[in-house]
Chain A
Amino acid sequence: MPGPRWNDSEGARQGAAASQRHAEFSIWVPAFAGMSGFLGEEPPFVRPRRLGRDGLRTTINVNGAARSLDLDPRTTLLDALREHLKLTGAKKGCDHGQCGACTVLVNGVRINSCLSLAVMHDGDEVISIEGVGAVEKLHPVQQAFLKWDAFQCGYCTPGQICSTLGMLAEIEAGVPSQETPPGGKPVLSDAELRERMSGNICRCSAYPQIVAAIKDAAEQMA
C-alpha cells in the first residue's frame, strides 16, 4: 500500500518547520497552540503581549456606582473611564495636562484625569460629566452653557463643566488664586473666573460665553 502522498520527506520537513514556527508563536498567543494543521501561510505578525505583569484589581466609585477593573498599571484614570468603562464624556485632548479636556472631580476636587494612574484612585469617588445632571434635568451649569452658547465644537465642554464645578467649590472653600487680594476672600469676578479656568483651553475661543455662563450658573446656584 502506498503511503499518503503528503507523507513524503519534503512534506515532513515542511511540517516540522511549520510546527517549530507555531511553537514559538504559541509562547505569546496561546490561542494558536492547538492549531497544528495551520500550514502553508506565515502566521500573521502579532506583537507579543509582553506585559509580564498581572492586572491590578482597582475599585473606583464612578458617578455613584462602585466599578471594579483589572488594570495594567499604565492605564490613566482617563483611559479607565473612556476605554474600560466606556464613559467617553471626559475627552483626551493633549494627554499631558495642558488642555483640561479630561477634567473630572476626584473626591470633589478637579484634576486632570490624563495625568493620574487609575490604580492610584482605588477607593476614590470620581464624578465625570456623565454623573453631572440628567438629560431630563440638566445641572444649572449645563443649562447655562446651553443658554449662553458657551461652546462651538463642544469638545472641551465636559472638561469646562467639571472644572467649573470644582472651581466654584474652591471659591466657596476660600482657595486663593493669583487674582485674590493677599489675605482676602475670593469673589467670583471676571478676573478670578478667567484665572481659575485657565487650565481649560477652548480651541473655538468661546471664552466670553463661558464666562457669562459660569457667572449665570453661579448666581442660580447661590
Chain B
Amino acid sequence: MKAFTYERAQSAAAAVKAAAETPGARFIAGGTNLLDLMKLEIEQPQHLIDVGRLPMAAIEDGADGALRIGGAASNSHVAADARVRARYPVLSEAIVAGGSPQLRNKASVAGNLLQRTRCAYFYDTSKPCNKRQPGAGCGALEGLNRNAAIFGASHACIATHTSDMAVALAALDARVETLTPSGEARSFPILELHRLPGERPELETHLIPGELITAVVLPPPPNGGQVYRKVRDRASYAGGLVSVAVVGGQLALGMVALKPWRAAEAEGALAAGATPAEAIAKELDGASPLGRNDFKISLVARLAAAAIGEGRAQ
C-alpha cells in the first residue's frame, strides 16, 4: 500500500473543505472496497478523510412520507431497519444479497454506491484497463468477458456496476443528497449519479471532485409488489451475473451495465398491457452481447419475467 496521510473529519463541511484543499484526497467510511483496492495499489490516495463517524448514519422519516438514509449508515443497519423492511422490502433484500455479513456491517451506503467494478481486467494490474489506466486499452473486449455489460458499454469499457443495493434504489426512484466542495447541498435522481463508460471509463460518476454523498432519500413506495432477485455462481457471497428489482411497475436490472439499469422500455410496454415476457423482450432488443455473455439475454428474460409475476402476486 502506498503511504498516505489520514484525518478524521469533524463535520461534513470540514470534510468537503479538506477534500478540496488536499491533492489526492479520498473520503473513507467503511473502507471495505477502497482498502482492498489500495492494497493492490489500484487506488493510491495521498490523503484519506474519514467520514465514517460523522453524524450522517441516521435513518429518518421525511415530512412527505419519504425516508432519508444517511450516507454513513452501514448496509446492515439499513437492511435491518423496520421501516425499510416494511415499506421498502426490495432494498433490504437487495442489500442482504450482496457481500458477506462482515462486509455489510462495515460498508456504508455512500461507499456502496461508489464501489468500483469487479471486472477481472480492472483488478489485474498486469492487464490493460482503460478505467485503471486511461488509454491502456480494454483487455476484457477480446478476453474473458462472461460477466460483461450487455447495455451501455463502449469500445473503451465493457465492465458492470456490481452493487445490489443500487439496483433496488434505481427501481425505487431514490434521490442522492450531496455536499459540494463549496459547501452547497444538492440533490439529484440516483440514475444521474453513475456515468456510462463512453470514451472516458475512468470517470465513473457525475459528482464534482471532492463532493460528499450525505444521504439517499426514498420517496413513498408506489403501489404494487416489491421483489429483488439475483443470479450468481454460488448460493451466497458472490457477485451477481444479473439481478432484477421490481417495485410495482418500476423495473431495474443489475450487473448488465456500468450503472444500475432502469428498464424504461419494459416499463412502457408493461404499462401498455404487454405480458412480462413481452415487456422484457422489448428491453432486451436494445442489448449488445459480446459472445461469452450472450447467456445474460435469456437469463434476464426469464429472471425479470418471473420477478414481475412474483411482484404482481404479492
| Interface set of A (CB-CB < 8 Å, partner B) | 50-53, 56, 72-74, 76, 95-97, 100, 103, 109-112, 115-117, 119-120, 122, 163, 166-167, 170, 173-178, 180, 182-183, 194-196, 198-199
Contacts and interface: CB of A to CB of B under 8 A. Distances in A.
Contacts of B236: 178, 194-195, 198
Contacts of B103: 97, 112, 115, 199
B72 to A, nearest CB: 12
Contacts of B36: 96-97, 115
Contact of B102 (A52, A97, A195): A97
27 contacts: A51-B3, A73-B4, A73-B48, A74-B4, A96-B36, A97-B36, A97-B102, A103-B102, A111-B106, A112-B102, A115-B103, A115-B106, A116-B35, A119-B50, A120-B8, A120-B31, A120-B52, A122-B8, A166-B102, A173-B80, A174-B80, A175-B76, A175-B80, A177-B101, A178-B236, A182-B89, A198-B100
Nearest to A53: B5
Contacts of A111: 102, 105-106
A176 B80 contact: yes
B246 interface: no
A45 B18 CA distance: 38
A161 B237 CA distance: 19
B32 A115 contact: yes
A76 B106 CA distance: 14
B208 interface: no
A167 B101 contact: yes
Interface stretch (B90-98, B199-207, B281-289): B90-98
A103 B5 CA distance: 26
A198 B102 CA distance: 10
Given A100-B100, A116-B32, 18 more contacts: A72-B3, A74-B4, A97-B102, A109-B76, A110-B102, A112-B103, A115-B32, A117-B31, A119-B6, A166-B105, A170-B101, A173-B80, A176-B85, A178-B93, A182-B85, A182-B93, A199-B101, A199-B102
B97 A178 contact: yes
B1 interface: yes
Interface of B: 1, 3-6, 8, 28, 30-32, 35-36, 39, 48, 50, 52, 76, 79-80, 85-86, 89, 92-93, 96-97, 99-103, 105-106, 235-237
A83 B92 CA distance: 38
Contacts of A117: 6, 28, 31, 35, 48
B117 to A, nearest CB: 16
Contacts of B106: 111-112, 115-116
A103 B100 CA distance: 12
Contact of B50 (A52, A103, A120): A120
Given A74-B1, A97-B36, A176 B52 contact: no
Contacts of B99: 199
Nearest to A122: B8
Which 4 A-B pairs rank lowest in CB-CB distance, beginning with the nearest?
A: A199-B100, A198-B236, A73-B6, A175-B80
Contacts of B97: 178
Nearest to B1: A74
Contact of B105 (A56, A72, A109, A174): A109
Contacts of A72: 3
Nearest to B77: A175
> Taking each of A52, A122, A177, A178, which has the highest tally of chain B beta carbons within 10 Å of its own beta carbon?
A178
A199 B103 CA distance: 8
A182 B92 CA distance: 9
Nearest to B85: A183
